[in-house]
A = this chain, B = another copy of it.
Amino acid sequence: MSKNRNSDVTFSATERVNEDLPTPLYHQIYVLLREKVVSGDYAEGTLIPSEHELEKIFNVSRITAKRALDELAADGLVARQRGRGTVVTFSAPVPSKSAESMDGLLENLLTIVLETQVTIHEFDYVAAPPRAAEALEVPPSTKVQRAIRVRHKDDTPFSYVETYVPEDIGRSFKKEEMENQPLLALLERAGVKISRARQSITATLADGKTASMLSVNVGSPLLKVTRVVIDSNDRPVEFITVLYRPDLYQMNMTLSRVEGEDSNFWKTEH
């Protein structure tokens, strides 16, 4: 029995990479292994599956398995030693747990604003793409302000933010002001009374553009949050899409059980 071989985290016996996908097999395996390393499933110091084990697990040739491990080593995530195996040399960062979570997104929003810097990559007025037009409840191709920003924490990109604002509101502030102030503050300065927001959370993959802007590989998982902010007249005033690097940010929230209910109701605490 191999000593210290990682046994808590295993691939199931039926593990298969998709032969039909155009992406090379070695790269599919590399991506899966990398994900387990950077997420901490394979902790620092543990031995990950050997070439021969990967051969059996994924039903590929040894060269293919070897190449996947070599790419990991080239990334500096693991070290390979003849006769010993492949050992994880990367310590997975602990996701910012924001010790006392108050209200989901919100307390995070404050700390994020304080601890990060924004760079603006695009700022212009364009015909609203269908989803933005629908969210803002304007006719398709209405001109709207679009901004693409990236948040950095200590020079590490952290989130990719795409916002759409109706033109009349957008004209009330300048590109440079978006660097220093939250968009919501700019909206309120423009006389907008913010009332509520609808928010949706999902997962997606990094494409070429977002991958390069977030300094992750294409195909990495990203946490995607879309939000429509609505003012006191029930008018949508902002449509925002945020992509977060899951290794740097997770959404945390605390839920409280509603007393006296026998179904599965909770309410969020604040």
A129 touches B201 (CB 8 A): no
Contact with B along A80-113 (1 / 0, CB 8 A): 0000000000001011000001011111011001
Is A191 in the interface zone, CB < 8 Å from B? no
A255 touches B15 (CB 8 A): no
The residue on B at minimum CB distance from A23 is: B23
* Integer count of this chain's copies in the complex: 2
Please choose the segment from A38-46, A151-159, A163-171, A172-180 that sits at the chain B interface, where 4 or more of its residues have CB less than 8 A away: A38-46
A110 touches B265 (CB 8 A): yes
A250 touches B205 (CB 8 A): no
Is A204 in the interface zone, CB < 8 Å from B? yes
Is A190 in the interface zone, CB < 8 Å from B? no
A269–B208 CA distance with the chains assembled, in angstroms:
37
If A17-B208, A110-B265 touch, whether A202 touches B251 (CB-CB below 8 Å) is yes
A194 touches B257 (CB 8 A): yes
Is A63 in the interface zone, CB < 8 Å from B? no
Q: Which of A210-257 contact B (CB under 8 A)?
A: 212-213, 217-224, 227, 244, 246, 250-257
The residue on B at minimum CB distance from A126 is: B8
Binding site for B on A (CB under 8 A): 8-9, 11-12, 14-18, 21-24, 26-28, 31-32, 35-36, 39-41, 43, 57, 92, 94-95, 101, 103-107, 109-110, 113, 121-122, 127, 129-131, 134, 141, 182, 184, 194-205, 207-209, 212-213, 217-224, 227, 244, 246, 250-257, 263-270
In the A-B complex, the 4 residue pairs with the smallest Cβ-Cβ separation, listed nearest first, are A15-B208, A203-B203, A40-B130, A12-B209
